Amino acid sequence: MEYGFLSLVPPLLTIILALVTKNVFVSLFVGIMTGSFVLNAFSPLVSFNAGIYAIIDNMTQGNTLIIGSCLIVGAVIHLMEKSGGIEGFVNVVVKNKGLIKTKRGANLFTWVLGLAIFTSGSLSCMVTGAVSRPVNDALKVPHEKSAFLVHTTSTPWCVLFPFSGWLASMAGYLVSGGVPEAESVSVLFQSIGLNFYCIMAILLCLVLALTQKDLGPMAKAEKRAAETGLLDDPAHGTKEEVEAATSGAKPRACNLLVPIGVLIVVMFATLLVTGGGNIMNGAGLQALIWAVVASLLTIMVMTVVQKVFTVEEVINEMFKGMSHMLPIAFILLFGFTMGTIVKSLDTGSYLSSLFQQFLTPALLPALTFLIAVILSFATGTSMGTMAIMAVIALPMAFDMGISIPLVAGAMFGGSIFGDHCSPISDTTIMTCATTGCDIIDHVKTQIPYCIAMAVVSFVMYIIFGFVM
């Protein structure tokens, strides 16, 4: 069944409500129920029942692994904090040894770490956010800025440096769009240099880190942190910051470095083993869950051996840490459900059909980028947008004789836009969970940068569409 304009209502309503009410949880729930009403012919009881069951049905194995990993990361961070690991790490890196002395150094540390974790956007958000947060906090980097750096070096870099599961996925999308399988990887690598949005995103982070010059809402956040020491908007202060200031544990840098080291080693080892010796073919979700579980067990054993906690106490603290992540876990679950609703409504196909009437061959790359931007922002998914756009834009590029790598670059870059700045994107949620930034504050401060890069990219695709 075709739902036409009604297919746009749930995702648009969700985003508008999130920006107006500043409550992503409620906005997602309203969006899910609205979508359920559309799918079930506006029958009240049937629609409400279907909406609730849709949420439950999205507790699939893959989604559960991601949500479970998020909860476990919360426990690891909490135990590192309570056992003096974060304070000890800050003492080594910032205070006593002075390895990182300035905001510029903290920003560059975050940027480099984000590029180093290239195998998964979700994992990059978790690891980079957790490791860089104590350094950024100690040097008074506002949470909005740290979230921007962590988020921008996650999926945008995964697409530009796809030596992971992203390579197989992106090549697969190209094949689904008509690119011969034998040429798919070659076309993919040709498209990287034409992915203007992601290239600009990575470079902008570096420039902002080096110059320490920000604009708009981000500049206000920087000014607030510098003048008042407040890392968040006063209306969104976090409980974790209060607890960190009163933990009172003996500073031990090893209580952060060892569990994080275990997480990274186990992650890459699992990718290597599950990929048959090739890290690019590894099972990303399996690597994620094994890594966070190994990290949790490590910090639990360490704190008991150090007599920071008894066995009973460390288990209680573990659940306290997980409880901090419960709101994020439910937002993730609602986000996954929203993605399912949008797919059932076939929102992507409807949006694409609206834009096809304005299409001329030279404008295909630019319109592909624009449609991908709108679709990914409305749905909060990059992979889903790539899957939809590949079977629409690439066949048209073949028919019109337009450069396939150029259209592919536009498709990949536009798809990342929504993953990067949509308030309902899973990486947006996970970035905020590990950096301590409020979701709406994160979106509000980084979206001027994202829109500026998207506008420049759109213009470049128009120019390249006529030139290539």
pLDDT higher than 60, residue 102 = yes
Return the top range by mean pLDDT from 250-259, 331-340, 417-426, 438-447: 438-447
pLDDT higher than 90, residue 344 = no
Q: Which residue has the higher pLDDT, 161 or 245?
A: 161
Contact call for residues 140 and 101 (beta carbons, < 8 A): no
Closest CA to 49 of 36, 39, 31, 38: 36
pLDDT higher than 80, residue 46 = yes
Contact call for residues 383 and 373 (beta carbons, < 8 A): no
Residue 245 banded pLDDT, cuts 50, 70, 90? very low
Q: Which residue has the higher pLDDT, 286 or 266?
A: 266
In whole angstroms, give the CA distance from residue 28 to residue 13. 9
Contact call for residues 351 and 6 (beta carbons, < 8 A): no
Average model confidence (pLDDT) for the chain? 84
pLDDT of res. 298: 96
Tokens 């599950």 sit at which residue? Answer: 274
pLDDT of res. 407: 93
pLDDT of res. 98: 63
In whole angstroms, give the CA distance from residue 212 to residue 96. 24
pTM for the predicted model, two decimal places = 0.70
Closest CA to 215 of 117, 145, 154, 135: 145
pLDDT higher than 90, residue 121 = no
pLDDT of res. 300: 96
Question: 10 is written with which tokens?
Answer: 């749930």
Residue 119 banded pLDDT, cuts 50, 70, 90? low
Residue 85 banded pLDDT, cuts 50, 70, 90? confident
DSSP string, 165-218: HHHHHHHHHHHHTT--HHHHHHHHHHHHTT-HHHHHHHHHHHHHHHH----HHH
pLDDT in tens, 285-337: 687 788 889 999 999 999 999 999 999 999 999 999 898 778 767 876 887 78
Please enumerate in sequence order all residues whose Cβ is within 8 A of that of 446, keeping only pairs 6 or more positions apart, or say none: 144, 147, 148, 151, 152, 218, 420, 421
pLDDT of res. 242: 37
pLDDT higher than 80, residue 236 = no
| Alpha carbon 357 to chain centroid, angstroms | 33
In whole angstroms, give the CA distance from residue 236 to residue 255. 28
Please enumerate in sequence order all residues whose Cβ is within 8 A of that of 261, keeping only pairs 6 or more positions apart, or say none: none
Give percent of the chain above pLDDT 90.
35
CA–CA distances in Å: residue 361 to residues 117, 122, 138, 197: 38, 36, 53, 21
pLDDT of res. 233: 86
pLDDT in tens, 177-217: 788 877 887 888 899 999 999 999 999 999 999 999 999 99
pLDDT of res. 429: 86
pLDDT of res. 239: 43
pLDDT higher than 70, residue 399 = yes
pLDDT higher than 90, residue 276 = no
Dihedral angle over CA of 62, 64, 68, 69, nearest 10: 20
pLDDT of res. 284: 64
Closest CA to 324 of 443, 436, 439, 440: 436
CB atoms within 10 A of CB 105: 17
CB atoms within 10 A of CB 87: 25
Question: 237 is written with which tokens?
Answer: 């202060």
pLDDT higher than 70, residue 234 = yes
Closest CA to 299 of 334, 370, 249: 249
